[in-house]
Amino acid sequence: MSAPTPTPMRRLPDADPTQAVTSLPFPPWWLTATDLGRAWLEVAAWHAVRHVLPEGDRGDGQPVLVLPGFMTSDVTCAALRTHLRRRGFHTHRWTLGLNRGFTDDILDGLVERFDAIHARHGRPVAVVGWSLGGLMARWLAHLRPDAVERIVCLGSPWRPEAEINRVTGAFRAAQRTWGFSADTDEILDLIRQPVPVRSVALYSPWDGLLHGDGCRQDEAELCENVVVPGGSHCGLTHNPAALLALTDRLETPLDDWRPFSWTRALADAVGGRRPAARRGTAPAEAAAAA
């Protein structure tokens, strides 16, 4: 399947016309109009296959902090956490209510929550973030490079040319309503720097809210991109293909990393094949104590 042709970017009403804006184009209108409807299809697909895929201790108790997207909460990512928990990962909610953006209480609460999880397990923590949650995962990786094991971002537009998209107006409204931290510009600059830990970007060219290329990472030793075929933006947390790729990238040992393969990931999932033991994470007694 070839990716749909995006529509030209439309300048927001309050944009400064004197400023040159180099931005990725908006998704086609029909992708935006159908994004939520396609998400419900992805939810139905997840319910259809979730009891078929084998469960087991594929995650070896690896702690995983899951961060929700903009204006969503832990409820939205419940299916994703359930999927990982049934495969042996020790998942954690972020417990901060709605993700309202870069407010001081959200930022301070996220660091406090992450540090508590890290202290509890005594081993590096994997961070999974959807949309805005993925940007926050990148921020955590810069703040705590020795405590973040890896990050996986689902549909997270971290590139500056993706800053203007279908939800930018709502994001600016949130900023006016709740007030963002005075450090937001510095945080965004940090997010746009290469991540110092293993990072995986899952994104879809069929995203209805933003251009998929805005989520793509530059080629580098610690970076990997996985394209989710046919995925919507709102449905990435339930999309069976996205969850398949997410599980595979989380369970692959860092010291035995191999490029992602849909064929291998599907064969491992359906066949119930357990990956090689995770090495270089935490002593057995520390993991047992967690």
Residue 233, both tokens: 């933006």
pLDDT at 274: 63
pLDDT band at 276 (very low <50, low <70, confident <90, very high): low
pLDDT at 277: 53
> What crossing angle do the helices spanning 132-143 and 104-121 adopt, rounded to 10°?
60
The stretch 247-268 carries a mean pLDDT of 92
With beta carbons less than 8 A apart as the criterion, state whether 165 and 189 touch.
no
Phi-psi region of 15 (alpha: psi -120 to 50; beta: other; left: phi over 0): beta
pLDDT band at 15 (very low <50, low <70, confident <90, very high): very low
Residue recorded with tokens 């279908």: 166
pLDDT band at 52 (very low <50, low <70, confident <90, very high): confident
Given a cut of 50, whether residue 120 has pLDDT beyond it is yes
pLDDT band at 12 (very low <50, low <70, confident <90, very high): very low
Average pLDDT over all residues of the chain:
87
pLDDT band at 57 (very low <50, low <70, confident <90, very high): confident
The stretch 235-264 carries a mean pLDDT of 94
Rounded Cα distance between 237 and 130, Å, is 7
Full-model pTM = 0.87
Closest-CA residue to 39 (of 232, 245, 246): 232
The total number of residues written for the chain in this structure: 290
* Amino acid letter, residue 180: F
pLDDT band at 282 (very low <50, low <70, confident <90, very high): very low
Given a cut of 50, whether residue 285 has pLDDT beyond it is no
Q: Which of 38-42, 86-90, 122-126, 272-276 has the lowest mean pLDDT?
A: 272-276
pLDDT band at 254 (very low <50, low <70, confident <90, very high): very high
